[in-house]
A = this chain, B = another copy of it.
């Protein structure tokens, strides 16, 4: 097998998610994933440190997007505006991936250990956003609150996007949940 495999990463990820769904995450081995993808275990480990990383590997990329979007937000942006811009910046990365994201969420929902890991990922991402706000001079507590509030609005929109078999527009859902959050907080 050659060292360079066109689309190997994507094929491995798809094979892994299919197997996690069919057999369960714990029951699937790396050997089985490689076999299903028509590749070797060695190739698997060139792309992923372990079975979990197929599911959680996108974290560093999201952190990068948040940090750069917040650093580049206009000086006039409120903390929450800057967070919204950062979260919106991730949306193009989900487009065209509705089916695989749904599959990922189903695998996580079926495994308590993965659910806990997913919550930890959410917490780390929210901290990244808060840190990026602090680097803009937003005071600590305000940065945390703005990051958490934005993350909730996004999470609610994302869950709706994932649970709807017909792919709705994620940007639209995000705007809608943000507006709903604003009206709930205002008590109207």
> How many copies, total?
2
* CB-defined contacts of A142 to chain B, threshold 8 Å: 180, 184
Shortest CB–CB separation between residue A17 and chain B, in angstroms?
Answer: 22
Interface membership of A110, Cβ < 8 A:
no
Grouping DSSP codes into helix (H, G, I), strand (E, B) and loop, the A interface class, with mixed when no group exceeds half, is helix
Shortest CB–CB separation between residue A64 and chain B, in angstroms?
Answer: 23
Across the interface, do B185 and A80 meet the contact criterion of CB distance under 8 Å? Answer: yes
* CB-defined contacts of A78 to chain B, threshold 8 Å: 184, 187
* CB-defined contacts of A122 to chain B, threshold 8 Å: 119
A contact residues vs B (CB 8 Å cutoff): 78-81, 112, 115-117, 119-120, 122-123, 141-142, 144-146, 148-149, 152-153, 155-156, 160, 177, 180-182, 184-187
